[in-house]
Amino acid sequence: MLLKTLFAGLLLVASAGWSQAAQSFCTDDPQYPEPEDKGLVFYLQRTGNANTVVYAIRRHADGTINARDPVDIYWRFLAGDGSRGELKWYERQLAFGVHYAPMKGHPGKYIVRPNAKPEIEVPVEVTDEGEVRALVHINGQDVKLKCVYVEWRKQLGIIPRILYIDAYGVNLSNGDKVVVRVHP
């Protein structure tokens, strides 16, 4: 009995420091974990592998958003060692980059526009609890954006052809998972 109790205690202590990344909110594929980056607002995953584009907010030590350079976008190589990598120039300009501007009349809030689709406006704010969130309107619901999933196939061996884009979020009023699919 003492040996069983000791063994159970050792298992608890050993497992206390171990943590497994949560499953991606975008897909049920177990190869796609959810990034756990500080300042994470939302992330983008796509067909091919679990490498993920992270959209995070830079903050000052007091928790306020860095107004001079608020958006931090980079790769998180989740298909490999989990390290961080910078976007290439063309990835930033044509695919994953954003433009941002302060929201007029709302200090600490920003409007973010994807470079690939600048007509889309995504408000980003810090809540009273200190949470950073991107807000979108999906199917008539106010939603906190969690992730975007892009399904694509290569054409002519190298050129990606986007089949669809899914945006996933959490309904602000009831906590339900919400998704919308867009076909380019």
Both structure tokens of 119? 């007509």
pLDDT at 39 over 80: yes
- The domain tally of the chain equals 1
| pLDDT tens string 47-98 | 989 999 999 999 888 877 888 888 999 999 999 999 999 999 999 998 899 9
Indicate the DSSP class of residue 24. Answer: P
In a domain, 3, yes or no: no
In a domain, 98, yes or no: yes
Please give the pLDDT value at position 17: 29
pLDDT at 107 over 70: yes
Residue 83 structural domain: 23-182
Please give the pLDDT value at position 12: 29
In a domain, 87, yes or no: yes
In a domain, 9, yes or no: no
147 within 8 A of 134, measured Cβ to Cβ: no
In a domain, 17, yes or no: no
In a domain, 62, yes or no: yes
In a domain, 18, yes or no: no
Find all residues with CB under 8 Å of 87, minimum gap 6, and list them: 53, 73, 74, 75, 96, 97
In a domain, 174, yes or no: yes
